[in-house]
A and B are shown apart, each in its own frame.
Chain A
């Protein structure tokens, strides 16, 4: 601001200055508190996972470990079979689901952008309608289990998330920024539609692919709901569901302890649950800083359309 502050007649600081200062105090306070509240549950979780079992049993989970211990992680890593298998399942469905979902979504989005495709608006509505009306989980469940026989089949983890209409709309927006003349001139040169899509459109829409791909990957990685519905075989549990079922049942804990060949008495159940959660969240926290900007971009594109 200027140096010669224009004082009003009563000699106070001008209104705007005071208001701006007040606003800054409020805004920095609110945002700081919000950020702390966002981090606090993680802090409590990590702290609990590094606390000695007996200390938890006596005093409960604290904000900082009352007695530091890595016993929970030791037990987990001693016999990590079930966790490694669950990691494998999660990685498998994430990779397959993301690649197929991304390919089908971008291909469809391209078709919807082609001006010479007469039914593109009808096609768009065909997809959009599913966001307005659905048959509910009950009929989907019966259809999957009774008619498609997908109980305990990996497909039941992949299919439900394979096409997301919101991502389709965002992808369509990304592709619509590519000039139509590219497709048109390639067609005149005799290229087929599929070749145009693969050779010209896909390389030109890399930011869109990265964004939508990450959206799909996150959905698959965090999914436990479909596993709860369709998977009862513990060998096919994805990571998030393994964590959930471990939290639900003491039986799962004792299974881990049997494998780790420690007496059930000495299994640090209280800290083990939290340590598992930390291990399940770890990858997300690690990749988060580098992928965040893509999500922001996707949301921004989606919001402008939405």
Chain B
């Protein structure tokens, strides 16, 4: 083999280069060029001067973001919600996957799996309608039901802690079907001989699940957690925004980095704090995923993401 240069490759595979070009161009436009925008965190942005014309102001934006207490609050909320949502949705998804996989009734299995997968297809907008439909104080279904039992109606919009559970519920509601499909695929790839051997040895179904199924799907569980740890500082904006909206009373327990950035951007027009928040979120996420993946590459190379 003679070592050939880049120009030779281009000549040889001109068509292939051209075929990859549209996607490369699009990703440059949508992802790579905006990456440059994170320098806004160190600038006093003015719309008329543009991103590169605005003046540098060092760490002022970060000071502002953290000293106001906002930084700590949204970081805390984002991390806690992600941990709670990750734990609940994965646990339910694994349970549902194991249960559905063991079911004998063909039709029950099919229909229940379809129903549980359905929410994945529903946009968060509709979930926003559900929340209004069920929880609003004047006409919500919850209060209708409470009143029919002669109980007092509850005003959930003045009790911020309840929303932690509502958000966790709808997060699971939307993702459990989707995630369980992945786990079912993982369970189906287990060698059937293991189960047969265990059955001959007199293992009951619980033993089979705890000693064969769960250990066998642990790489998948592991990867799911790894992917989510890399996103620990990213709140699912669409979910939070549709469920909570602009209810200021609930911000203390429900405001996450993404909703905060969005609100500042569209309502107050103040770019300093959200720019600092964005920089801090993007860079920290990147560092976390690199560190975690590096550790895994050292200990369990098969499970590393890249």
Contacts and interface: CB of A to CB of B under 8 A. Distances in A.
Given A19-B204, A139-B51, A280-B125, A292 B16 contact: no
A224 B220 CA distance: 32
Contact of B123 (A44, A117, A240): A240
Contacts of B182: 299-300, 302-303
Measured as residues with beta carbon below 8 angstroms from the partner, the interface class of chain A is 35 or more
Contacts of B92: 34
B20 A30 contact: no
A56 B140 CA distance: 9
Contacts of A248: 245
A135 B38 contact: yes
Given A23-B102, A224-B123, A281-B126, A303 B185 contact: yes
- Determine chain A's interface SS by DSSP, over half rule: helix
Given A19-B204, A27-B102, A39-B115, A141 B38 contact: no
Nearest to A36: B115
A266 to B, nearest CB: 18
A299 B120 CA distance: 12
Interface string A51-82: 00000110111110000000000000000000
Interface string A228-262: 01000000000011011001100000000000000
Interface stretch (B25-33, B62-70, B74-82, B156-164): B25-33
Interface string A25-39: 011101110110111
Contact of B30 (A159, A197, A243): A159
B141 A61 contact: yes
Contact of A137 (B9, B35, B178, B265): B265
B237 A225 contact: yes
A38 B143 contact: no
A292 B114 contact: yes
Between A16, A159, A192, A218, the greatest number of chain B beta carbons within 10 A of the residue's beta carbon is seen for A16
A260 to B, nearest CB: 21
A205 B57 CA distance: 53
A141 B33 CA distance: 12
B258 interface: yes
Contacts of A193: 13, 15-16, 19
B88 interface: no
A278 to B, nearest CB: 9
B155 to A, nearest CB: 13
B35 A133 contact: yes
Contacts of B26: 104, 159, 162-163
B141 A63 contact: yes
A285 B261 CA distance: 34
Nearest to A277: B129
Given A30-B96, A139-B37, A194-B19, A20 B132 contact: no
Interface stretch (B248-256, B278-286, B294-302): B278-286
Contacts of B120: 295
A285 B116 CA distance: 13
B125 A127 contact: no
B145 A63 contact: yes
Contact of A45 (B108, B129, B138): B129
A244 B261 CA distance: 20
A137 B238 CA distance: 13
B154 interface: no
A134 B31 contact: yes
B59 interface: no
Contacts of B285: 132-133
Nearest to B32: A130
Contact of A132 (B99, B230, B274): B230
Contacts of B111: 35
A83 B144 CA distance: 30
Interface in A116-169: 116-119, 123, 125-128, 130, 132-143, 146-147, 159-160, 162-163, 168
Contacts of A274: 129, 133
Interface string B120-146: 111111111110111000111101110
Interface string A264-288: 0000001001100100110011001
Given A41-B173, A111-B19, A292-B114, 5 more contacts: A34-B116, A117-B13, A136-B279, A163-B23, A247-B129
8 shortest interchain CB distances as A-B pairs: A139-B37, A222-B123, A136-B278, A19-B204, A60-B144, A27-B99, A135-B34, A193-B15
